[in-house]
Structure 1
Amino acid sequence: MKQGLSLRVSQHLALTPQLQQSIRLLQLSTLELSQEVEQMLDENPFLEQSEDSAAREDFGLDQVDSPVSQEAQEFESVAEFTPSHDSTSSSQSTSENSNDNDSTPEISSEAKLEESWDGDGTVETSADDGEWGGDAQPRKNNGDDSDADASDLARSHESLQDHLHRQALSLRLSEEDRAALYFLIESLNDDGYLEDSLSSLAAGLAGAEPEQLEDREDLEQHFTIALKLLQHMEPAGVGARHLAECLSLQLLECESSQAVSAAKAICRQPMELLAKRDIKRLVHLCGFPDAVIRAAIALIARLDPKPGRRFINVERNLIVPDVLVTKVAKGFKVALNSDVMPRLRVHDIYANALKQHKGQGGPALTQRLQEARWFIKNIQQRFDTILRVSTAIVERQKNFFTHGELAMRPLVLREIADELGLHESTISRVTTAKYMSTPFGTFELKYFFGSALGTETGGNASSTAVRALIKQFVSSESLKKPLSDNQISEMLKEQGIECARRTVAKYREALRIAPASLRKALT
């Protein structure tokens, strides 16, 4: 076998560390990005927060609106199918695939990664619930908080446990009963239910051994007394073990009437009958006339099946938009929300010290400085991409921002990707967990994308607009004769939109609208 040397030229793709970081930052939500920034500030001494907006690093971001090169699009395409584990293994696997096709000398992937982080070698820094229960109205608290800001409500939040403990202070109890009441209050879930039985709670405290039986029985007696006290606290229905008991506790506070008596009788029956509104069986089992049973079901529908949910911290539901859209004289202005943009910069003192003592800090410090610069650049690039995508969405959905969701037009990710010269997977990352504030409310960017439904004129209608139209039909329907899915389908056809009954049912369920049989008025 004759041996010889040969030179071959080949191309292969490798995900550099900075590209992996850019992709990962792009798909993070606002909260996740904030956590990532905090972690990087703790780990990298060359990175610090600034009160002012960080100056752009000289990485070509001034040309952010220019089309993306073919190589970058290939990188994005590869990233869509590459797992986000160790970058070394990703580069090695890519190199091995390339070697299978070409007899190219193997090049160390670790050397490539080190070279990519080193950049140009400089260390200089740049310039500075169900339909019936979900609508139940909670009791009004003292004071009018209608003008309170959401963030103020979050800071002044009182949990369900705090609310109940405050009531317990006015009760005269023995130390054992007070301790039992405290334990039950702390055992409630977010909805105000006591999920565990008293016997299981007592066994958990006293132990399950036979010789501890007397202690368990004593604890269970104290829990029984404490439970009765808990179930008479505000809000009504708290401390219930199941839905029927929760509703019954709330009915105890209602003025005595035939409807209230019938409602209590209904709560003693299987809840499936109430959910299905099986009037005939309830009349037979409860022994009340048809009209009284209907009035009782209407009364139950006004109760709160989850009395503890009003105490859930409002901060959990607080959404801070990434993009702000406001109406101006010539259209709409799209701007980034400065409150969610991290203000970062390279630490001047440390960077200058490293520059003056070049070569003494070692390659590790030089690499950390380069990482800090790349992190700032990737943060800036993330928000630039979000702004570009948001601007393109607003441009294509102008009718929505003028007339509302009924005017939404069909839009798919590929349209925005082709317009901006980005990969479709990049658009998907940008539109996930990113929110836009509009004159009609705050929406996730994915909300503005919808499939197309055919029309009689040969055009297309957005699925989002169709859902809005279905919601409008249902809101204006007769409560005595609610619209069936088939009737809604026919009404859409009258509007020129081809939408099958099954599609209507799917959209109705997505909108959390009950079937016609459950929307029908009882009286």
Structure 2
Amino acid sequence: MQFQKPALSQRQEMRLTPQLLQSIQLMTLPLQELQLRVQEELETNPALELVSEAPSLSLNERDDSGDDYDYFENSSDPGYSPGASFQGDEEGKRNFLEGALSRPESLHEHLLWQLRLQPISEREFRVGELLILNLDDNGFHQEPPDLLVSDDDRPLLKPLMDTIRTFEPVGCCTADFRESLLVQAGLMVDPPPKLQEIVGNHLEKLERGHHHEVAQALAISLEEVQEALEALRSLTPYPGRMFSSDAAGYVIPDLLLKREEGQFLLVLNDEQIPVLGVNPFFSRVATGDNREARKFAGRGVREAQWFIQGIQQRNETLLRVARAILEFQRDFFLKGKKHLVPLTLKDIAFELNVSESTVSRITNGKYIQTEWGIFELKHFFSNRVAGAGPGGAQYSKEGVKEIIREILEEQDSQGKRFSDQKLADLLAQRGIKIARRTVAKYRSELKISSSYER
């Protein structure tokens, strides 16, 4: 027979209090998301109030201190009439804004406009429209064209694809970059000999610089191979990209680094965050005689205080981590991108006596504005690349990538096209010994094409 009896046990466990959980959540938020979080808290907690916020300028506000000035008198807007006022003229304001705002033409729109100019039937136009709308941003098929139409319309596919491929940009409506280059080469006026055969069968050899093998395989001279190579460089492997309509991403830097009189000044961008406080009325009610009102107001006041403290802790931690990064990466901020030194989360965590997870949270999605540009704080953490310089110097991965970019920009401006192996040799001369495939990987991450494609 089993019996139950009381027993004492001792153990350690870690529990997240609501305050700690909220503090961690606030620490991970980028500036834009923190602004939204503050707005949500103001709407849900009446004990939290807005003390002050960043001033904003309205289009309807006027400076009455002097005479009116016509700011748009020298505007390039053709619909503007001197003397017209936006005050009380909402229709005029709407027309002006509609004329001022525009968006670029997409690849699909540009191709469809050209398709409408063709002397084709309505049925052919419908098939051509399906083909165009099936293209990705590069101008290539997303789905096989045979799947787009019924069996009855399949005979129309090839002639319509041939037509669309001649539209600007030339080479769209193809399967991949190789087929696109073949189409462009076929439409060239007076192309070099064997150009299409080179595109179809010998691109890889050209990319590796094996010109002799190509010349031998096609029974042509090295001069003719070089002529074909120059012609290829004038073509566009991804023709649709010139119509790319990807919207630019904008970030608001959390920090600003300036140099004044030879000293660095690190400033927190707190103007984007409104100043918050606890509502005095709720504070009085929280200490009053009414029990129910005191309970309700007290809970709101505590949550408001926790929220304010969470934002303060976020900002303080962000500044501490940024100052530590500044000390480790001082050469970067003084001399430029290629002077980025190896740095890990563990280095900063040890310096500040905090956990690596805290450093990871506070640097993720946070940006700093410097004289070299705006960078995410994560950018300053880079792995080591072994060097063979004096004392076995160490280089960061990002620093090596910037050196590669610098070499390629300098040599490309002189008309030279260095292969990945040549780049590896040049880096070795600078005391940076990395393999050719590593050079190719870094070049790809920099979004720089190979020597053949350049």
Question: Match for 1:441: what amino acid?
Answer: G
- How much does 1:409 deviate? 3.6
Residue in structure 2 matched with residue 397 of structure 1 by the alignment = 329
Residue in structure 2 matched with residue 124 of structure 1 by the alignment = none
Cα distance, 1:32–1:187 mapped onto 2, change above 3 Å: farther
Residue in structure 1 matched with residue 175 of structure 2 by the alignment = 241
For structure 2, which runs of at least 5 residues remain unmatched after alignment?
A: 56-75, 77-99
| Cα distance in structure 2, aligned partners of 1:391 and 1:308 | 44
* Cα deviation 1:169-208 (Å, max 9, x = unaligned): 5456543333333322221112121232322111xxxxxx
- How much does 1:240 deviate? 1.6
Question: Match for 1:315: what amino acid?
Answer: A
Question: Match for 1:246: what amino acid?
Answer: S
Alignment of 1:31-46 (within 5 A): none
Residue in structure 2 matched with residue 184 of structure 1 by the alignment = 131
DSSP 3-state at the match of 1:512: helix
Residue in structure 2 matched with residue 266 of structure 1 by the alignment = 198
The question of 1:491 aligning with 2:426 is answered no
Question: Match for 2:129: what amino acid?
Answer: Y
CA contact (8 A) 1:45 1:347 kept: no
Cα distance, 1:366–1:222 mapped onto 2, change above 3 Å: farther
Cα distance, 1:475–1:457 mapped onto 2, change above 3 Å: same
Residue in structure 2 matched with residue 415 of structure 1 by the alignment = 347
| Cα distance in structure 2, aligned partners of 1:323 and 1:265 | 55
Residue in structure 2 matched with residue 385 of structure 1 by the alignment = 317
CA contact (8 A) 1:344 1:376 kept: no
Residue in structure 1 matched with residue 151 of structure 2 by the alignment = 217
Correspondence for 2:239 among 307, 324, 327: 307
| Cα distance in structure 2, aligned partners of 1:284 and 1:458 | 48
| Cα distance in structure 2, aligned partners of 1:329 and 1:458 | 33
Cα distance, 1:281–1:500 mapped onto 2, change above 3 Å: closer
DSSP 3-state at the match of 2:239: coil
- How much does 1:410 deviate? 3.8
Give the TM-score normalised by the residue count of structure 1.
0.61
The question of 1:335 aligning with 2:267 is answered yes
Identity %: 27
DSSP 3-state at the match of 1:436: strand
The question of 1:163 aligning with 2:110 is answered yes
Greater relative contact order, per chain length (Cα 8 Å cut-off, separation 6+): 1
CA contact (8 A) 2:206 2:452 kept: no
| Cα distance in structure 2, aligned partners of 1:345 and 1:381 | 14
- Greater shift after overlay, 185-194 or 504-513? 504-513
| Cα distance in structure 1, aligned partners of 2:332 and 2:299 | 48
Residue in structure 1 matched with residue 25 of structure 2 by the alignment = 24
Cα distance, 1:248–1:3 mapped onto 2, change above 3 Å: closer
Q: How many residues align?
A: 400
CA contact (8 A) 2:255 2:267 kept: yes
| Cα distance in structure 1, aligned partners of 2:281 and 2:181 | 65
Cα distance, 1:189–1:492 mapped onto 2, change above 3 Å: same
DSSP 3-state at the match of 1:308: helix
For structure 1, which runs of at least 5 residues remain unmatched after alignment?
A: 55-142, 144-152, 203-215, 494-498
Cα distance, 1:288–1:26 mapped onto 2, change above 3 Å: farther
| Cα distance in structure 1, aligned partners of 2:428 and 2:402 | 16
For the aligned residue pairs, the C-alpha RMSD in angstroms reads: 4.6
- How much does 1:392 deviate? 2.4
- How much does 1:442 deviate? 2.5
